[in-house]
Amino acid sequence: MSHFFRHLPAYVGLGLLWLLHWLPLPLLRGLGWVLGRLLFLLGRERRRVARTNLSLCFPQWSEARREQVLRQHFVAFARALLDRTLFWWAPRQRLERLIRLKGGEYLQRDDGRPTLILAPHFVGLDAGGVMMTMSTPLVSVYSNQKHPVFNAVFLAGRLRFNGPLLLSRQEGMRRALKAMKSGLPFYYLPDMDFGRKESIFVPFFGVQAATITGVSRLARATGARVVPCISRLIPGGYEVELLPPWEDFPGASVEADTAFMNRFIETQVLTMPEQYFWLHKRFKTRPEGEARIY
């Protein structure tokens, strides 16, 4: 009982979120627009981070265009945030109407090779995860949340369909490697700054970015095909598109593979720049001797 009262604000907040999943999508998206505008006005620190990222990645753009994308990003982020209530609690039938899958044939192959699903950090990432777990058992890695109540809800939401094997980032890659070799596709999110450990510096939109090398190393260790998964927030819900497996991958070196991955992500960002996760401090870790960016 003491646990309940200690976390009462969290339970109240979750209760309000639970109510949102009953709303029709247009109304939920309208609330997301309002929330996005509020977050833009009140989130001074994250606004600064996103503005810095856009300036670094798109110096050729006018300031007005970067500002427009910045404002659009906050709305897209907020809409995707509220849509998580659907992923946690809406019935499967509704989710299948809201999330459209393209390229599903690339998920199932009969050649015995493992599959690594590369999922860049677009705001619709959770929709991609839901669609993948509805489509097949898989393995993925998640980051523990600081608050135990929210962590439990987030984890339960990701375990709803097909019993995926979810590993905390602290567990490392050994169990994921074993799961891939047993036939489970790996839904992998490789494009955030996780510090110097297991990272190398390769360009991302011309800026040196600490980038983990897991995609290359896992492909080399398992012989896996790499299937990109791009999740788009669209007016009627989400479109999750699996693209053809990369050819001639892995290539000459881990460094070349990791640079190739970043170049590929750049091409996808350019198709919907307002939906990439600019709120993250992507360039926080710097090469030796370089000044801090944020």
pLDDT in tens, 9-35: 665 777 888 899 999 999 999 999 999
pLDDT of the residue at 112: 78
- HSE-CB at 44 with a 13 A cutoff on CA atoms is 0
pLDDT of the residue at 110: 72
> What type of residue sits at position 140?
S
pLDDT (tens digit per residue) in 31-87: 999 999 999 999 999 999 999 999 999 999 999 999 999 999 999 999 999 999 999
Name the DSSP letter for residue 113. -
- Which of 78-82, 110-114, 115-119, 251-255 is least confident? 110-114
pLDDT beyond 80 at 146: no
DSSP per-residue letters across 145-199: PSSHHHHHHHHHHHTSSS--EEEEGGG-SHHHHHHHHTT--EEE---S---STTE
Whether residue 250 has a cis bond before it, omega within 30° of 0: yes
What gap in Å lies between CA 99 and CA 133, rounded to an integer?
Answer: 12
pLDDT of the residue at 118: 97
What gap in Å lies between CA 218 and CA 223, rounded to an integer?
Answer: 8
pLDDT (tens digit per residue) in 156-206: 777 788 878 888 776 667 888 888 988 899 999 999 999 998 899 999 999
pLDDT of the residue at 6: 58
pLDDT beyond 60 at 5: no
Length of the chain: 294
Beta-bridge partners for 167: 141
Task: Please tell me whether the overall predicted TM-score, pTM, comes out greater than 0.75 for this model.
Answer: yes
> What type of residue sits at position 167?
L
What gap in Å lies between CA 111 and CA 22, rounded to an integer?
Answer: 43
For the record, the structure tokens of 56 come out as 């670094």
For the record, the structure tokens of 73 come out as 């990003």
Relative to beta strand 99-102, strand 237-242 is parallel
For the record, the structure tokens of 107 come out as 């998920």
pLDDT of the residue at 141: 82
Mean pLDDT value of segment 126-140: 92
The residue behind tokens 């489509």 is 135
pLDDT of the residue at 269: 98
pLDDT of the residue at 147: 60
What CA–CA distances, in Å, run from 48 to 38, 70, 114, 274, 279? 15, 10, 41, 15, 9
pLDDT of the residue at 244: 95
What gap in Å lies between CA 184 and CA 165, rounded to an integer?
Answer: 9
pLDDT above 70 covers a percentage of the chain that reads: 91
CB atoms within 10 A of CB 153: 20
Domain positions in the chain:
2-275
Spell out the alpha helix ranges (H) of the chain.
2-6, 8-20, 25-42, 44-57, 63-89, 92-98, 125-135, 148-158, 174-181, 214-222, 254-269
pLDDT of the residue at 164: 83
pLDDT of the residue at 197: 84
pLDDT above 90 covers a percentage of the chain that reads: 74
pLDDT (tens digit per residue) in 261-287: 999 999 999 999 999 999 999 999 999
